[in-house]
Structures are given as C-alpha cells and as structure tokens.
Amino acid sequence: MSNRWITILITVLLMASTIPSASANNYKGYQLSRGEVSDFSLINQNGDQVNLHHGPGEILVVAFIFTRCPDVCPVITQALKSVQQGLPVEYAHQIEFMSITVDPEFDTPERLKEYTDLHNVNWSHLTGDLEKLEDIWKEFGLVVQKNVISAHIGEVNGYQSNDSTVVFVDGNGNSSELMYLPTAWTLTHTLFENNNISLNYSTHSQFGNMISGINGVEAPSDLSWYWKFMTFNESSTSWEESSVGVDFVDSQENPHIAYLASNANEGLLVSPSEDDGPSISVVYPENTTQKFSFEENFTAWHLTTGAFDGAGINYSSTNHAQFGHFFSSFNDEDPSQDNSSWYWELHTWNDTSTTWEYSMLGVDSISEPKHIAWARNTTNDSDIPIPGAVQNSIDQQNGQVCDGHGWEMGSGASKHCMCDDGYDWPEDTMLSCVEVEVEEEYNVGHSTTTFILDQERKPRVAWTGDQWNPEDFISDIEMLAEDIGLIESSNDDSDDWLAVSPTLVFGLSALLALGLAAIAINVSSKSNDEK
C-alpha cells in the first residue's frame, strides 16, 4: 500500500436479499419481488426538488453513481444514455431516468451539473443530506461501506511508485508525469504496424478512434456488417462484445482483444492460453482468421505510446524503414507549425547521477526503459522535473508546493498533490496537503446497481456492475412495459426492433460513446475537485 496518497473510495454493494435469483420470466436482468420504495425528495443538478413518486414516467430507471468514480459510474452513465436514445419512440416519453449519488458529502448540485454536462445527459442527478440518503439506500437494499481505505495509487489508475513513467514538458514549461496505461488502441496500432496490417479509422473528438477497415477489408457504408470490437473475459473464458471503444479499454487488464466482422462466425475466435502474451485476433467476413501476439522487447516506443494513450494526449509519429519510430508532435504541438525552429527531444533518466540525459538512441533502441522524458530541444535538462516530483515552474517560483507534505503530479487542470501519509487534500483544492483527522469516510468501490421500477415504484429488475448490454436493458424495459400495459404485448418472439446489435441500432458513434468516461471522467473528476 502506498503511503503517499489516501484515496477516498465508495463501495456500493447489493444486499443478497435484494436479488433472489435470475429471472425465470425472460427478464435478462435480475427479477425482483419487492414492495414499493417510499417517496422521497432530493435536489437535482439544477437545484430543483425531485420526487420519486411524482415524476412523469410510468417506468423509472434508477442508477446509483458518484462523480469522482474513475471508471464504473461513467460507463453506466453512457450506457444509460444509449438506452435512452434507443428506446422506441412510441413510449420513450413514458420512461424516466434518475441517478442518485452515494457520495453526498462531495456531490453537490454544482458538481452533479458538471458531471451531466460532461456526459451530455439530461436526466436528474440527485443529492441531499446524508441521513436522508442513508434511508434511501436502505429502501433500495444497498449497503454503503464506510471504513477508511488507504488506497495504493494503483487501485485507481494502475500506477505504482516503481512503474515506468514518461515526463512530458510542453512548450509552456508545464510538466506532467504520465504512467504507462496502454489502451486497446495502443495494442491495436502496435501489433498491426508490427505485422504490416493496414488499418483504416477515423478519430472522433468525443468518441475516440472508430475502426472501419482492417487489411483492406472495409465495413460497408450501409452497415450491413461492421467490425465488432471484442474482449476476452478471463472469468467466463469467453469472448464478449465490448460496451466501450478501443480507447477506453485498459490493455493491461484486457490483454486479449479481437475484431470480428459482425456477419462472420464468432465461434472461430479461439480462447487464448495462459502462456499467450497480449494478442489481437481478427475474423474477416469470409471467416478467414489471423492472430497477432506481442512478443518483442518493451522499448521507449511502447512506453511513450502507452503513456500518452492512457492520458488521452494525442501524438503523431512515423516509422522510418532505417531509423525506426519518430514522433513529430505531442498534444498538437508540432515543430512544423513554428518553421521547424525546434524539435521534440528524448531524454533518459540516469539513476547513478540522478540527472536527465539527452538520448543518443532512438525510441526503438531503448529496451526496458525506467523513466524517459520528452521536451522541446530548447528546454534545459535541469528544467525537466525528476521522476516522482513533477512541478510546474511557476510553483517553483512561488515557493513550497503541497505545503511541504507531498509532491505535484500532472499539469493544468489535472495537476494535483500526491500527499504524504497522514495528509490529504482540503475540500476546496487538490494543490494543498493538510493533516487528516482520523474519522470514518466513504470508500470508493467498483460495484453499483441500476434498477427498473414500475409505475407503483416497485423495483422489478436489477442490473449490477457496468458490463451489461444496453440492448438487453431495453429488452427488460419493453417487457415491463408490456407487463404493466404500457404497450401492447408482442406475439413476435424475435423482437425485431431489438434483433440487431446496439451498434447498428444506435450507430457506431453511440457504441463508442459508452467509453467517453474512460478518459474524460478521470480528467474531469480531477478538474472538478479543484473547484
């Protein structure tokens, strides 16, 4: 456990009594048999009172989230957004959505407003007094655990103090230390490039990289088939279509991915063995297959791309046949825009002299790098912060950082203190470290529950976690709508309007929108904490 940073964590667990069994009545979620939830009134992101029993919806979807959740909650929010957008028009106006915080001491209406604006959603996100919310959690059968956890940084973002890092100094002198957090996109472009597999894609400002063609095989514009992005679930030992895009899947947690033509035979995807390194499988429309594995040495090229992809910082690079990989721009800073009066320079950290040194080798020739740095060649080596102690040059001029009880990481809106053991951020800023009083606080967890309630506000279906499919969720809403007479019961078991993948129902953009949270929420949550 790290003694540098205490991360406040929240765990929401569904009580065993809440979910008696999986549905035997064709609901895809867990079918519930419970009484109505008592009425309550909470404050939404706009400062308005919202009541459980007085909303306009005949069916109510209730999610439990918190704004500083780094992963699960943003994915759930984006999944619900796709559910909302995918509801049939004949009764979509009868379905109401509501998200309730499990972190009321942090989640003010203002922070909830920032969260909803970030995710571009329009339903009520609610907060209120802790005592009132504790009663509501109990009504829904939720347990919110309250013991303090001194979390290792890795429990939030995968970083450990001995991990390899990249120090990045931009043109304004702002410094960031980036951890190696490779995404599925990192694995994709690395392995495809290594194996001379061409890749066609477009990059959306919000949804990230959207793949349209592999090795010259292009998905048709009429969407008669498309490239499905799959991840291998080691727990169930099965391949699953990812609910998020390639930019939002951690390739360290999901080292085996696949691209499957939606009209191809999914059974051709073979389960990886325990000895396999990170891999990509491809199944083409005519059911031919390819598989590529990562077997080469880890170099500064891999460290750079993995760190920048994980931080959501764009870059441009080329691969020269003789000289290897070359980076031409970082974070939209391109020397060609300044008449090539400067260039990006690579530095390596010398543990013996504890100094940065200009690298005489290219990124492909530096094996197993520990710490590297990228800065303009006009930057003095002495101005590049040492690993583990990134500081903005302005802060150095203004005096002691983090009140002398920590060190800074990141830059701009994401800059924050890594506080020493026994110190934490005050409520109004992440750029200060104050002594912590020992008291019970919330824990952050990675489980939460989303409910579907009927018109009497009885919970009828529950979905746990964030790995559910919006198509299945919509199917449960439709079934409940039939049960309560909101729509006519269909005799067609095929559910034609749900017969295709949600990628086709909502469009490719909607599918990738589920993963907006994977990068955006981390940046946003840090930014919001400063306010």
**2 within domain boundaries:** no
pLDDT (tens digit per residue) in 176-208 = 888 888 889 999 988 998 888 999 998 877 678
Q: What is the pTM of this model?
A: 0.44
Q: How many domains does the chain have?
A: 3
Mean pLDDT confidence for 342-357:
89
349 plus 462 within the same structural domain: no
pLDDT (tens digit per residue) in 85-102 = 999 988 899 999 999 998
Q: What is the DSSP string of 414-464?
A: G-EEEEPTTEE--TT-SS--EEPPP----B--S--EEEEE-TT--EEEEEE
**155 within domain boundaries:** no
pLDDT (tens digit per residue) in 60-81 = 999 998 887 766 788 899 999 9
Distance from C-alpha of 239 to C-alpha of 75, rounded to nearest angstrom: 19
**55 within domain boundaries:** yes
333 plus 209 within the same structural domain: yes
184 plus 142 within the same structural domain: no
**154 within domain boundaries:** no
Distance from C-alpha of 75 to C-alpha of 9, rounded to nearest angstrom: 17
365 plus 417 within the same structural domain: no
Strand (E) or helix (H) holding 188: helix 184-194
- Of 328, 355, 379, the residue at which a domain comes to its end is 379
Q: Is the pLDDT of residue 23 over 50?
A: no
**370 within domain boundaries:** yes
185 plus 326 within the same structural domain: yes
Distance of CA 102 to the CA centre of its chain: 19
Distance from C-alpha of 389 to C-alpha of 300, rounded to nearest angstrom: 21
Mean pLDDT confidence for 341-355:
89
Residue among 106, 212, 182 nearest 430 (CA):
106
Burial class (CB in 10 A: 0-12, 13-18, 19+), 520: middle
Angle between helices 72-86 and 470-483 (to 10 degrees): 50
Mean pLDDT confidence for 307-330:
88
169 plus 265 within the same structural domain: yes
Strand (E) or helix (H) holding 464: strand 459-464
The residue segments making up the domain with residue 372 are 162-379
Give, as one character, the DSSP assignment of residue 253.
Answer: T
Residue with tokens 């890092």: 165
Strand pairing of 95-101 and 59-65? parallel
- Of 438, 455, 470, the residue at which a domain comes to its end is 438
**199 within domain boundaries:** yes
The structure tokens listed for 527 are: 């930014």
79 plus 99 within the same structural domain: yes
38 plus 139 within the same structural domain: yes
347 plus 471 within the same structural domain: no
190 plus 319 within the same structural domain: yes
**3 within domain boundaries:** no
Distance from C-alpha of 72 to C-alpha of 79, rounded to nearest angstrom: 11
User: Where residue 515 sits, what CATH number does that domain have?
Assistant: 3.40.30.10
505 plus 419 within the same structural domain: no
**203 within domain boundaries:** yes
283 plus 364 within the same structural domain: yes
To the nearest whole percent, how much of the chain has pLDDT over 90? 39
